[in-house]
Structures are given as structure tokens and as C-alpha cells.
Amino acid sequence: MSFDPVALQFLLIWSVFLAGSGAILFLIGRLKQRNLASRILAWIPIIILMFLAIHFGKWVFFALILAVFAASHWELTRLVEEIGFLRHAIALGLALPWLLLIQFHKMPVWALLSILLFLGPVLYLALFMKHKHPRQIFPFALMLGAGFSLWILLGRAGGFRLVVFVFSVTALNDMTAFFFGTVFGGRKPFPRLSPNKTLAGYAGGILSAVVAAHVFRFAVPELNPVAVTLAGIILAIAGSLGDLLASKIKRIHGVKDFSSMMGKMGGVFDRCDSLLPSAWIASIAFLYFL
């Protein structure tokens, strides 16, 4: 059986990274600190699922996105009390059409609408949300529907090359920021909003994202080295902003994680919060400017 070459390179690079990071942390005696071992192991099924979705293509990838959307939607709606059937139905009506339109129809008009619609609820949640309220289910749903539809868009536009690049750079920034922050500690720029994030973690994450962007440059051969470096920095910043927005939502609702669906790594949306703004910025950059 022959594998898709982009999917195979994706799997091999991630395998080397996960094995190497585990070995390094073991050698410096930090593997047990804050459950780093379990966090590394938890990424293995994520990478395998991404590999299978990329290899088998459009419909398997769509099924994966739907599953992740459904889990994230459940995690966010359970934070809001007294929702009721009608609000659930309206929320799904706001979210699902964007996933279906991007999957089943030609892209340009629906892609642009998803890009624009994603920004509205994100700005509302970031700037104006201060207290719990049942109506928060609506911006949650619109953010998820428009945001995850952009991953379908990236998959359709680049033959999954853009998915490999954007996912890998963003995920590695997220992982290494946590590792650097745990190992080196240091000043916490957002002690109330995100008390576990440190300047060392952010710096290490951005540096790792730039390195990852060059490692995964095979997926975006049209970019020169300067553009690849800039893409790594921008995706790292976008992912970090998504993580801060998720932290704000959790603080307002008084929870540490969105759920315990992924064990020590928290909920599904705890792992996806950085991926949605990265897909948004990547959709604009790759599809409309590059």
C-alpha cells in the first residue's frame, strides 16, 4: 500500500519530534513534571488521526473536522446554563451551514463569508464578554462553525499541503510553549488570565514555530525563506491569541479545562483553541494574497 507523500512526511517528522522531545525531557529529568509524559503520549493519536485524514483525503478529513467540531460544540455549550432545545437548535443552525457549504460547494463566496463571520464572534468574546449568559451559546457556535470550516477550506485549496503546514506550525508552537514555560519558568505576562503561561514559554514557542515552518517548508514550496519565517511568527502569535481567548472563556465560567475528554490534556477545544485563529490568518494569507 502506497501512502500519500505529504501525509507520510508529516507522520515521519512528527514521529521524530515526539520521540526526540520525550528523550530530551527524560535526560534532563523533567518528564514527570506537570505530567509532561502523558501530554506527549496524548499527541500520538492526534497525529495518527491527522495522518489518516490527510492520506485518505476529502471525506475522511471532513468526518474528522465534524467530529472535532461536535466535541468542541458540546464542551462550550455545557458551560452555559439553561440553554434549552430551541437555543441548541439555533446554535447548530448558526454553525453547521458553514461546514457544509465549504465542503459541498465552490469556495470563493462561502470562503470569504466564513473568514468574515469568524472575526465577529471572536472580537465579541475577546472584548465584550465579561459574565456568563445563556446567549453566549450563539457566538460560541458561530465561531466554531466558521472557524472549523476554514480548515476544510485549507484542505480543499492546497491538497492538504496547507493543512500540514498550518497545523504543524501551530501545534508545535502550542506544545513547545508549554514545555519551555514548564522547564524554564520565568515571568508570567498574564497572571490572572493565563497563570501557566510565561515569557520563556512564549519565546520558546515562537522560536519553535519558526523552526517548524522551515522543517515543513516542503508543504509550501512557493514560499521563500523570509516568507516561511514570517509565517512561523504570525501563526505562533495567532495561535497564542486563540489560547488566551479560550483562557478568558474558561475564567469567566470558572473551569480549568473545557472537559476531561482527553485526560491530562483537558478537552478537545483545549487543543483546538489555537488552531482556529491560525486557520483564519492562513486562509487570508494563502488564499487571497499569496
Residue range 141-168: average pLDDT? 92
- Exposure string of 93-108, with b = 16+ CB inside 10 Å and e = fewer, is ebbbbbbebbbeeeee
- How far apart, in Å, are the Cα atoms of 139 and each of 2, 33, 117? 43, 36, 10
Q: Domain for residue 124, yes or no? A: no
- Measured in whole angstroms, how far is the alpha carbon of residue 195 from the centre of its chain? 20
State the residue range of the domain holding 250.
5-74+147-288
Q: Domain for residue 51, yes or no? A: yes
Residue range 274-289: average pLDDT? 88
Spatial distance between the Cα atoms of 37 and 24, rounded to a whole number of angstroms: 11
Q: Is the dihedral of CA 209, 211, 212, 216 positive or negative?
A: positive
Q: Domain for residue 90, yes or no? A: no
Burial of 142 (0-12, 13-18, 19+ CB in 10 A): buried
Percent of the chain with pLDDT over 70: 92
Spatial distance between the Cα atoms of 103 and 88, rounded to a whole number of angstroms: 23
Residue range 106-111: average pLDDT? 69
Q: Domain for residue 255, yes or no? A: yes
Q: Domain for residue 129, yes or no? A: no
Q: Domain for residue 227, yes or no? A: yes
Domain total of the chain: 1
Q: Domain for residue 206, yes or no? A: yes
Residue type, 123: L
Spatial distance between the Cα atoms of 209 and 232, rounded to a whole number of angstroms: 5
With contact defined as beta carbons under 8 Å apart, do 95 and 144 qualify?
yes
With contact defined as beta carbons under 8 Å apart, do 288 and 280 qualify?
no
Q: Domain for residue 270, yes or no? A: yes
Q: Which tens digits make up the pLDDT trace of 221-238? A: 989 999 999 999 999 999
